[in-house]
Structure 1
Amino acid sequence: MTADVHALVGAYALDALDDIERATFARHLRDCEPCRIEAGELQETVTRLADGAWSVPPPGLRDNVLAAIGTTRQITPAGRTTAAPVRAPRRMRLVAAAAVVVAVAGAGAAVWTVQDQRVRQAESRAEQAQASESRLRSILAAPDLVVTEDRLTSGGRVTVASSRLQNAGVVTLAADRAPDAGRAFQLWTIRGETPTSAGVLAAGQSSIVQVVEGLPGASAVGVSVEPATGSTTPTAPVQALVKII
């Protein structure tokens, strides 16, 4: 607690006191009219300054405000012995309040930046999902679509829909259950004797609809159970092997 209770008026107006200081200063306000007036004016000033939409302040504003505050401290005139506070000129009180609002605006800018990034990321994911759905529909609507399927040895089914006109296919996996903990399904496209990963499902995931570009160039689609991080080659025995006609 500061030795001069009058000096807490600014922090009180800005709700920057701890519980003990706030209670002490609230009792002080009942007996000190100058502090009541000053606290009211500061609270009104802060409210007006913070009202409406904020914007990022110019780079030098904070330094200028802090410099002004450093040269306009409240002091007691020589010879004065009473505890009554000396009120700074109204312009200086506005400057002090502005400094706080600038600091709050700076913090707000950081929050806004984070929120803006989240919105942009969500928009990007939505656009990707929309593009993926559009691509999936175009493949399934192809006039030359060929559909083949096979059962998973652990239960369930894998279906492959392939279109040479679209040079792509759609692999649908619907397993009865997910692999054991730490394991995951992995899709493969097989060209000749060479398997290439077409994606690893998340651990605990038992179904997926996957667009595979260039699928008609493959001879088969395989499904295997691998470590959750995936493998470079399928682990035998594979769960299913669907021939592409």
Structure 2
Amino acid sequence: MTATDIHALVGAYALDAVDDLERVAFERHVTECESCRIELDELRETVCRLADDAWSVPPPRLREQVLAEVGRTRQLPPARKPRPDRRVESWRRWATAAAAAVVLAAGTGVSVWQVQEQRVQDQSVLAEQAQRREARTRQILAAPDLVVRTAPVVGGGKVTVASSAQYDAGVMMLGADGPPANGRVFELWTLRGRTATKAGLLDPGVGSAVRVIDGLPGNDGFGVSVEPPGGSPQPTQIVANVTLT
């Protein structure tokens, strides 16, 4: 990764949109680069300001409180005249409609709160998963027996594999110059003899990725192929092959 690439990561880092290896590289860089530190602080402040008024959460008991208040409110008695006063009848209709609107609004508020709460929970789960992946990546990259190998990618770029027999896993970083053409995708493989085993599939339009590959040590190699969307049972066009033995 070049110095220019590192500087360009400041925006993505502020939004927590970097992968594990990019995070490690940028955090090391930002301790030495004052301009990146200043820009990062400014971006974080902007993000916080934008998020302040994004949404508010209604109290969980809002709906129950509104319904209880409606139940305590005294209703108008029925008119005794054969033909009720139009003003009274109009008031009764308005009060009924208003109460219904309040209940509906309360129900809507609770529904919105539930949806927002679910989103927060989903984001929390994703954050925890990202933290676990980062911790796993850091653990492998800090292994005393770490072995790093690289290979070029046909068409430009390279793939780097850092493996640890101690943790029986490796970290793969693919940095192709661009994604495959015509909607095709990169697929990852562990190679042992003549046997290729699926190790991951990138989305269409993606030309770079960082993945933890469990069970990587002990294989003869690691390959990257170009396949149709959805992948293939076996590699059809290998564009990078990292020898591991």
TM-score (norm 2): 0.65
Alignment partner, residue 55 of structure 1: 61
Q: Deviations over 1:117-154 (max 9, x none)?
A: 11111111111111101100000000000011111121
Shift of 1:76: 8.0
- Kindly provide the amino acid, as one letter, of the partner of residue 87 in structure 2: P
Number of the residue aligned with 1:231: 232
Report how many aligned residue pairs link the two structures. 183
Aligned equivalents of 1:131, 1:182: Cα separation in 2? 31
Cα distance between partner residues in 2 of 1:79 and 1:194: 91
Q: Compute the RMSD of aligned alpha carbons.
A: 3.2
Residue type of the alignment partner of 2:125: S
The 1:73–1:234 alpha-carbon spacing in structure 2 relative to 1, beyond 3 Å, is farther
Q: Which residue of 2 aligns with 1:9?
A: none
Name the residue aligned to 2:88.
86
Give secondary structure in 2 for the equivalent of 1:217.
coil
Name the SS for the 1:142 alignment partner.
Answer: coil
CA distance in 1, matches of 2:77, 2:101: 16
- The amino acid that maps onto 1:85 is R
Q: Distance in 1 between matches of 2:131 and 2:236?
A: 34
Change (3 A) 1:54 1:103: farther
Give per-residue Cα distances to partners, 1:49-96, cap 9 Å, x unaligned. Answer: xxx8462646xx69x96xx98xx687583367xx75127999x98776
User: Is 1:170 the counterpart of 2:176 in the alignment?
Assistant: no
**Rg larger for:** 1
Q: Which is further off, 92-101 or 169-178?
A: 92-101
Gaps of 5+ in 1: 1-51
Mapped to 2, the partners of 1:209 and 1:240 lie a distance apart of 15
- Residue 138 of structure 1 is matched in structure 2 by 139
Residue in structure 1 matched with residue 49 of structure 2 by the alignment: none
Bigger shift: 177-186 or 131-140? 177-186
**TM-score, with structure 1 as normaliser:** 0.65
Structure 2 unpaired stretches of 5+: 1-57
Counterpart code for 1:138 = Q
